[in-house]
A and B are shown apart, each in its own frame.
Chain A
Amino acid sequence: MLYQLAVPTPIEDVEELRVLEWHVAPGHAFAPGDLVVELETHKAVVEVRAARAGIVRSILAPVGDWQRLGRPLAVVSDTVDEPLPDAADTLAVMHVDFEVT
């Protein structure tokens, strides 16, 4: 199954944020608890960790790109061969754990 990795919500006071660093490259797998991406708010860093296993298929927001809360950052999937959709918006949102530090 395909999912979208979206900017988690809610983050207090934040409307949009900037991608600071990807920790999993396209085509690579992640396990539950893995740090997938770090996001930068106006005064904090948001660590986004996978709550399930999967594979990053396509990064939609590379480092330095901006995205609003709830909007997609990447397409992920359970297996490596599932064909990618045209748009990520309609995909189910993958559950993540996140911490604002």
Chain B
Amino acid sequence: MSAAAPAPRVFFREAIGRALAEAMGSDPTLVLFGQDIGRFGGAYREFTGLFERFGAQRVRDTPVAEAAMIGIGVGAAAAGLRALVSITYMDFLMLGLDPLVNYAAKACYKTGGQVRVPLVVKATAGARGQGVAHSQCIEAWLMSVPGLTVVAPATVADAYGLLKSALRHDGPVVFVDHKRLYPTAGELPTDAAEVPFGQARVCRRGDAVTLVAHAYMVRVALAAADELAREGIACDVVDLRSLAPLDVATLAASVARTGALVTVEEGQATCGVGAEVAARVREARGGEPFRVARVAALPAPVSSNPILEAACLPDAARVTTAVRTLLS
């Protein structure tokens, strides 16, 4: 076996930037829309260099008008282009739900497959000190929309691989990039592959309990698993990567071994990702019993007060407590 060069280490934003640059290079129909994505390079510098390389026609700065941004993206995609619309705060995706849900997600069905909408909505989610309307994770709302794909990377490699897949998909995709992942770095091989939709990633093996998370909460789940390992509780940690479609087979196989499921998410528990995961695993497991607990944000808005923000959101301590309670 030849010695491979070590994979370059890059920031999360650089993985996104590389995926965008490669896709724009290979697909001349791809157009980007977003606030401050031009010369400024994006709120997290993830668009750095794209304006200079591909020009103002393809890297379009927009006003603060999310409904129009997504509406234009849907129209452009339906008319034959491929569009990525960047929503700086996922909270404001709410303004664009009509074109996304009523047009983009339904176009293929309404036209008997004649109209495809190759649209990616990149929506930056999560709490980082910015208060009630700039902190939300509403990806669970989107999981129930037929025709919509929803993905949420937790790592640098998956940010690249899922975005590459999204930028080749022929239907609308919501790509959730959690803002607390932007300070992170990771290995991204020069020959990094696309990550297919609907494939979860088992990132830690254990037989006592299955922890399921996505996006930034994978790091929280892994931190909890580290702590629980010191007590002799071995966690299977599953990173969903793709929320719609869900990789129920991987989830059910893990729960078949552990007999216990703890879901972890930054959004709300009610009708949340964990509720859906638990129900789908229950259906897949038939009559086989297993224990379930959900860890999610408290049922309150996320405050801009850092103490109250931290109190609202799941952390490793809440996850370990949930696991110990479930297993006791």
CB distance from A95 to the nearest CB of B (A): 25
Complex: A66 Cα to B183 Cα, angstroms: 13
**B182 engages A42 (CB within 8 Å):** yes
Nearest A residue to B45, CB-CB: A43
The interface-forming segment of A11-19, A22-30, A53-61, A84-92 is A11-19
Nearest A residue to B180, CB-CB: A13
**B13 engages A42 (CB within 8 Å):** yes
CB distance from B205 to the nearest CB of A (A): 25
Number of A-B contacts (CB under 8 A): 26
**B44 engages A66 (CB within 8 Å):** no
Complex: A41 Cα to B183 Cα, angstroms: 7
Complex: A29 Cα to B9 Cα, angstroms: 31
**Tally of contact residues, B, Cβ under 8 A:** 11
Complex: A72 Cα to B9 Cα, angstroms: 19
B95 at the interface (CB under 8 A from A): no
**B12 engages A42 (CB within 8 Å):** yes
Q: Is the interface of A mostly helix, strand, loop or mixed?
A: loop
A66 proximity list for chain B (CB < 8 A): 9, 185
**Tally of contact residues, A, Cβ under 8 A:** 9
**B13 engages A43 (CB within 8 Å):** yes
Complex: A18 Cα to B45 Cα, angstroms: 16
CB distance from B112 to the nearest CB of A (A): 45
Instruction: For A14, give its contact among B9, B12, B128, B183 (CB under 8 Å).
Output: B183
CB distance from A43 to the nearest CB of B (A): 5
Chain A interfacial positions (CB closer than 8 Å to B): 13-16, 18, 41-43, 66
15 A-B pairs with C-beta separation under 8 A:
A13-B183, A15-B185, A16-B185, A18-B9, A18-B185, A42-B11, A42-B13, A42-B45, A42-B183, A42-B184, A43-B13, A43-B44, A43-B45, A66-B9, A66-B185
